[in-house]
Amino acid sequence: MVKPVYRASEAQTIKGLIALSLRNRIFEQAVPDAIARKTTGVKFSKKPKIETLNKKQLDEVKEVSNLKNINQVTEKTDIGDISITPENRVEVQAQTLQAIEKYGLDLNTFLGSAFANSGRQYQKITMLSFSL
């Protein structure tokens, strides 16, 4: 029995080649002249800047990653209180937005670093709860 293409072991390769082909076709449509295309030096993606940790930083990361809860982490790193309250909610949202813009964080990084309850507020109305 032959598997469908999307189930094949080569599916990632096929998807990548299709994406590359589509980007090339779009660029060919935008710049029809082959010489002009060559001189533009277009790149479809930028290589990420990779920063490495020194031994001290690596040891600190290992130590913090072995702590059991967020309170231990904030105590160890001298971050202070990270609770989101009605009084500091707007400030925390502004700081988060600034960090996203400053460091170019993508959605996956943002979601992966989010705290479990994210300071969400609930209001209970006769046996039902909904998020504000």
Quick: pLDDT tens for 46-80: 677 778 889 998 898 888 888 887 788 888 888 88
Which residue in 16, 12, 11, 9 sits closest to 45, CA to CA?
16
Dihedral pair phi/psi, residue 121, rounded to 5°: -105, 140
Q: Within this chain, do residues 99 and 115 fall inside the same structural domain, yes or no?
A: yes
Q: State the total domains in the chain.
A: 3
Q: What is the largest CA-CA distance in the chain?
A: 70
pTM for this predicted structure: 0.34
Q: Within this chain, do residues 65 and 101 fall inside the same structural domain, yes or no?
A: no
Q: Within this chain, do residues 63 and 34 fall inside the same structural domain, yes or no?
A: no
Q: Within this chain, do residues 129 and 108 fall inside the same structural domain, yes or no?
A: yes
**Contact of 40 with 31, CB cutoff 8 Å:** yes
Which domain covers residue 74, as residue numbers?
48-80
State how far Cα 84 lies from the chain centre.
22
Q: Within this chain, do residues 76 and 33 fall inside the same structural domain, yes or no?
A: no
